[in-house]
Structure 1
């Protein structure tokens, strides 16, 4: 008998097709009848001339304009590494995880000391991310408490671009700092043509929930569309805080906020690279925090992923983050459910991996722990090979009842395909005692400190010199 040769990728859905259409219809209704608030003069003129209704700072976008923008946007966005290799292909249900490298505070993995984040800490987190293969890209929010906030975004970008070769998603203060970071990327890529072939950077900017587009964000949106810089336009909504308490209402509002940015981008330049999304989670009514690990966040991220797949737009998601204060059992459980959900639903560009305490603490140790979880789930997602070799009927026939497979050539051929960890241990109790009784926290600490010594591939000396010259001009 010949068996079929195929592999099924595990998959989940949280919305039916009818529910997706209902959210889409509500999204269009919000944009058409409620509208968005926008004060940016040039963007308002673009929208008015294209057919939107502009009344002061309120803009109502007809459904046909939204649908037209969705059709014009590319279904695939590619990011490249320092070498010009196209390593992150955002389309369909392909998943790519990236750690957020900086935050307001830093958790020292050696001492568990928590303190304000410094520029040097970004060098550390960049190198740890560079060393971990299941992190495909990296992200920063431009925080360094020992550098002026007016230029911290550029200093942070320079640290990242010199300490990892991976694609880089960044936030920045304004269009001027965006231009400076873009120029650094052009230098490293070797010019505009090579940058367009494999963009090293992508810009993250966002509207303010509910339904407000502020001038600086629109400036950056339009600059990215003009220059061909991949743009993530991603609102952040809290059920019961900045959006309806009901999940469907929050999804519709978040979708409207992101798609209104898409309309502007496509008016600036049809075909501009755009990544859709919204961080939809709850406000914890007991603590008033914006939860980074509630199961509702994972559920709504999955729903937004399905909306992106319906629109054939790349999606920006969140997973691998925690409300826990340390990389402990709570943090591991919170990361596991969000990462597993994101893999199963097929989120594309997944950020915030490695953040603790509802998005206030960067932790190298937690980056390492989440990477282990990602690697484990990635192995699960490969599915099960079904063909004559893997069904092994002939091997079973030759071995026969009552025999063993430990020394069987078939076992030798396939045993290395199993997943093994150097962080999670499977020893017997006696073996564990005999090897020093090293508990998980200590194993995580030792692995993290070792990864912190990783030396990334350096930039050419002339590039480093030119980056230093650029830095002298930042004011």
Structure 2
């Protein structure tokens, strides 16, 4: 067994020379939302979207560019005409009714297991960035070491519930073999739940085999341990690569995000309501197919939402229409009784500037108020996903913690004690030294670590440090104090052996990647 480039196996805590971790990095539990949701559609409008989507599935149909999927649909009773599948609404309803409304994500550290669905939400970092802005705020191509740093930060930031997968693309490794190292990094550097690569059916199968080595194949038959994502080719097309990856996950009873990729006005109608009707039809067709593959397999109503600038054709983030679509999609997912995914803290800015902050905050508030369950791209996304910013990554995580606290709702457990403080202090006094304040100051009001609320004189005296510099300093501090969560040595060796074998079998030439 030789996988030297991955690094030596962990030898125990005694071998670490770094200072022991003293920061509390305990992951927040899955968010249980207690605020009312924004639901702009009445029952008649929900029925109108549902009816329009079902009519699209019946009359227009959806293209499944995959011979196996077409055979599966014929056996399920669908009307298949060439590659176009026309789905009867009653068949769709019957299939999606078997999707679990909720389940539990199981992490390799059971303390990080997550209830999921219904009123529970989780925050997941961004993925897929071909560039990063590094610890010096330099935009460049990422490496495996950069990816490891993001996985370490994901492990240490309490509001993030997952290490995701390829937060950034590691350019120093062949594309055809990259999924193996990405999955290993997700597993090795964090003991939270993670995502699995779906860049090809075979890559997805490799991820499932690595999950089986980590959790046990029998355990996976009844427990969700890893999330896959399949993107549609809007309008109304699912391709062979994504459908093969879907089957790899659904056959092993692992959840997949069924995600139409919406560029509003470009691959959907240039209007919110009909765009949602199309997106809904696309998502339902893929959700239904997961149940053709395996009845009862977990699946998540997904989407990626963007609107297109009619000036340039460029995708935009944080627009009002994206918020409206999130509200509507949340209502539709609840109408069908399935959990749903959205995207979070999206920015189109080229640096971590005010535009990035405004766009991200607009999106964060909308997805929380829409009731999204799987809140993906929750840290680092900027430049329309072209880069992941180290600075934005840690600030976004703090924003998620603030959103988490807001969505928990109002606390009433110390109401009487607080009223007693009013009686004790009386007119003209202050509460700073009161026992109720001393007992509750740490939880009473969220105190951001990375935002500066001091006077301008104090801020200037401390060097006039702006948010990007503060965030990068914070990221460096976290990485210096990182301690790797223990991975069972036998499991670690089995994973490394699997990677070594598969890398011998898979051609390293990038041009051959699509065969795998």
Compute the TM-score of the two structures, normalised by the length of structure 2: 0.85
> For the structure 1 residues 423 and 365, does the alpha-carbon distance in structure 2 shift closer, same or farther, using more than 3 Å as the test?
same
Matched residue, 1:60: 86
Query: Which one is further off, 129-138 or 44-53?
Result: 44-53
Residue in 1 aligned with 2:178?
Answer: 152
1:215 equivalent in alignment to 2:240: yes
Task: String of CA shifts for 1:244-301, please: whole Å, max 9, x gaps.
Answer: 1111121111111111112221122211110012223211222322224333223212
The C-alpha deviation readout for 1:81-114, integer Å capped at 9, x for no partner, is: 112456232212322111124411111122x221
Please give the per-residue CA displacement for 1:207-257, whole angstroms capped at 9, x wherever unaligned. 211111212222222222221111111110212211111111211111111
- Which residue number corresponds to residue 31 of structure 1? 57
Match of 1:3 in 2: none
Identify the match of residue 272 of structure 2 among 244, 247, 263.
247
8 Å CA contact 1:137–1:168 kept in 2: the answer is: yes
The question of 1:123 aligning with 2:148 is answered yes
What is the CA RMSD across the aligned residues, in angstroms? 2.1
Aligned match of 1:80? 106
Q: 1:20 to 1:167 in 2, by over 3 A?
A: same
Give, in whole Å, the separation in 2 of the partners of 1:445 and 1:88.
29
Structure 1 residue aligned with 2:498 = 470
1:286 aligned to which of 280, 292, 311 = 311
Change (3 A) 1:8 1:256: closer
| Cα deviation code 1:364-408 (max 9, x no counterpart) | 211111111111222222322346734744433343333332322
Q: How has the CA–CA distance of structure 1 residues 458 and 65 changed in structure 2, closer, same or farther, with 3 Å as cutoff? A: same
Matching residue of 2:513: none
Pairing 1:184-195 to 2, within 5 Å after superposition: 184-189=210-215, 191-195=216-220
Instruction: Give me the whole-angstrom Cα distance separating, in 2, the residues matched to 1:390 and 1:14.
Output: 36
- Kept in 2, the 8 Å contact 1:305–1:347? The answer is yes
Cα gap change, 1:228 to 1:23, in 2 (>3 Å): same
Higher mean Cα deviation, 346-355 or 376-385? Answer: 376-385
CA distance in 2, matches of 1:102, 1:70: 29
- Residue in 2 that maps onto 1:225: 250
The answer for unaligned runs of 5 or more in structure 1 is 1-6
Residues 390 and 472 of structure 2 are in contact (CA less than 8 Å); yes or no, is this contact kept in structure 1?
no
* Inter-partner Cα distance in structure 1 for 2:413 and 2:128: 46
Alignment of 1:428 with 2:446, yes or no, is no
Match of 2:423 among 382, 385, 397: 397
- In the TM superposition, 1:17-28 aligns within 5 A as 17-28=43-54
TM-fit CA distance, 1:8: 5.6
Q: TM-score, normalised by structure 1?
A: 0.92
Q: Does residue 324 of the first structure (1) align with residue 324 of the second (2)?
A: no
Q: Distance in 1 between matches of 2:126 and 2:230?
A: 15
1:43 partnered with 2:69? yes
Asked whether the 8 Å contact 2:109–2:191 carries over to 1, the reply is yes
Give the 3 Å change call, closer, same or farther, for CA 139–379 of structure 1 in structure 2.
Answer: same
Give 1:4's aligned residue.
none
Deviations 1:34-93 (A, max 9, x none): 001123233222222322111111110001011111211111132221124562322123
Q: 1:375 aligns with which of 401, 411, 417?
A: 401
SS in 1 for 2:349: coil
Asked if the contact 1:10/1:383 (under 8 Å) is kept, the reply is no
For 1:151 and 1:84, locate their aligned partners in 2 and report how far apart those are by CA, in whole Å.
30
The whole-number CA distance in structure 1 between the counterparts of 2:394 and 2:404 is 15
1:455 to 2:455 alignment: no
SS where residue 385 of structure 2 aligns? coil
Give 1:427 deviation, angstroms. Answer: 1.7
Aligned partner (choices 471, 493, 497) of residue 444 of structure 1: 471
Contact 2:34–2:407 at 8 Å: present in 1 too? no
Secondary structure at the aligned position of 1:310 is classed as helix
Residue 105 of structure 2 corresponds to residue 105 of structure 1: no
Shift of 1:28: 0.5
* Cα separation, 1, equivalents of 2:333 and 2:222: 24
Superposition deviation, residue 310 in structure 1? 1.4
